[in-house]
Structure 1
Amino acid sequence: MLTLHTAEHLLAGPGAAPLPGGAVLVDGDRISRVGPYEELAAEFPHARVRRWPGVLTPGLLVRGADVLLERTYYPDDPYETTELGAEPISGAEALAALTMTEARWGNSARRATQKLLARGVVAVTGRLAIPAVRTAVARSGLTVLPPAQPSGPPSLDPFAGRDAAEQAFYGALEAGVPARFAVFAVPDVRALLEQGATSCVATVIGGRLLHRRR
């Protein structure tokens, strides 16, 4: 089925000018066309339409997945937060006190990947050593890339420490590429850094809507 995703602004990639009323036409797991919504809607009148508020961009990239997923524990809400608190736990001493097992690491990684998807993330870099963590990431749909030079402490927010929002983009939106993009409920592109990735309202990977803010 063809699906037409449109937002108030579309930013196709680094260096591209924002396109008011832009849209992405998805056919299966790939982008078929990118352009003004009115033109694509007229050419493909039977496509399902998803209208989003804000800015539609390429999906985001997070560096340091090994630190975020294998050296940071995410308490299970609500079952553990009364005892452990809601904030992620890191540091060798604190993790040792949790008596971590592979299964527990896998469950923590599953919660972390949901947080990443909720921030528009479609890809991560790092070398994952724990099998249960690798399984959780594979099932999430996130792409795992080789380790990359860190640009600051690893963060769940891909915009953290960036000078421009485009620095966090993974790829660009164009015909023929995998359908990986995100939508942020911000008034314009300049507000992306100011409001951060938690403004994400939708994340699409492989043409599938994997996160939608309720």
Structure 2
Amino acid sequence: MLTLHVAEQSPEAAVLADGASVAAVGPFADLAAAHPSARVRRWPGILTPGLLNPYGPELLEGMYHPDPREADALGTEPFGGARAREIFRADPARLGASARRGIQRMLAHGTVALAGELRARAVVDAVRRAGLAVGQRPDRLPGPAALSPTPLILLPGLVAGGPARFAVFDVADRADLVRRGAGTCVATVIGGRLVYRAR
């Protein structure tokens, strides 16, 4: 099924997805006229190829992402250090569950690819199931590990025939995205599937 994604601030860069692939990229009016039966998804802000987070191991193997049911005891924010290591040591199965929650947090920040050498099988499996691409880790990391690292690393542009992997941010333009960060994400698409949508 064809799905045409268009963002208010970037109508000239609409994306026509055909399943897991990009069928075409171009002005919304042209794509809509050429494919009148395509389902249309309208978004605020801008549509981008999505982000690479270079901190895969740090965020998914070195931090614990609490389950909402643990909020009273552990809070709601991810944490690392000795406290996280103790949780993983006491119950190794919690690493996979934590990684899945961490991936959901990454998707909510427009992450469609990550980098860094993942060693834990449960984490590798969670990344593969989520469909996240694995990219090249930059020579210089942008700062401390974060869901919205500074500076943001945008992936190369979307092309026809390439994977339907992108994100939408509720910002005026790319400069506004850099200024406000990845927490402005409203949608993330991987393999043509909407894997995150802001409420």
- Both structures adopt the same fold (TM-score exceeding 0.5): yes
The residue number in structure 1 matching 2:17 is 26
CA contact (8 A) 2:52 2:135 kept: no
After superposition, the C-alpha distances for 1:192-214 in whole angstroms (9 at most, x for unaligned) are 12221111111111111111112
Q: Partner amino acid for 1:131?
A: R
Higher fraction of helix: 2
Structure 2 partner of 1:118 = 108
Give 2:66's match in structure 1, choosing from 75, 90, 99: 75
Question: Partner residue of 1:94?
Answer: 83
Structure 2 stretches lacking a partner, 5+ long:
none
CA drift at 1:87: 1.9
RMSD of equivalent CA atoms:
1.6
177, 184, 189: which one aligns with 2:174? 189
Residue equivalent to 1:203? 188
> In percent, how many aligned pairs have the same letter?
50
SS in 2 for 1:66: helix
Residue of structure 1 in register with 2:126 after alignment = 136
Q: Structure 2 vs 1, CA of residues 55 and 24 (structure 1 numbering), >3 Å: closer, same or farther?
A: same
Equivalent residue letter for 1:104: R
The amino acid of 1:202's aligned partner reads A
Runs of 4+ in 1 over 4 A off after TM superposition: none
Distance 1:95 1:24 in 2: 40
Unaligned runs of 5+ in 1: 11-19
The CA deviation at 1:102 is: 2.6
What secondary structure does 1:132 align onto?
helix
Residue 29 of structure 2 aligns to a residue whose secondary structure is helix
- Verify the 8 A CA contact 1:126 1:148 in the aligned structure 2: no
For 2:136 and 2:25, the matched residues in 1 are separated by 29
Distance between the aligned counterparts of 1:21 and 1:126, measured in 2? 34
Deviation, structure 1 residue 100: 4.2
Give the C-alpha shift of residue 132 in structure 1. Answer: 1.1
Q: CA deviation at 1:187?
A: 2.4
Measure how far apart 1:147 and its partner are. Answer: 4.4
Alignment-derived partner of residue 52 in structure 2: 61
CA drift at 1:96: 4.0
- TM-score of the pair, normalised by structure 1: 0.86
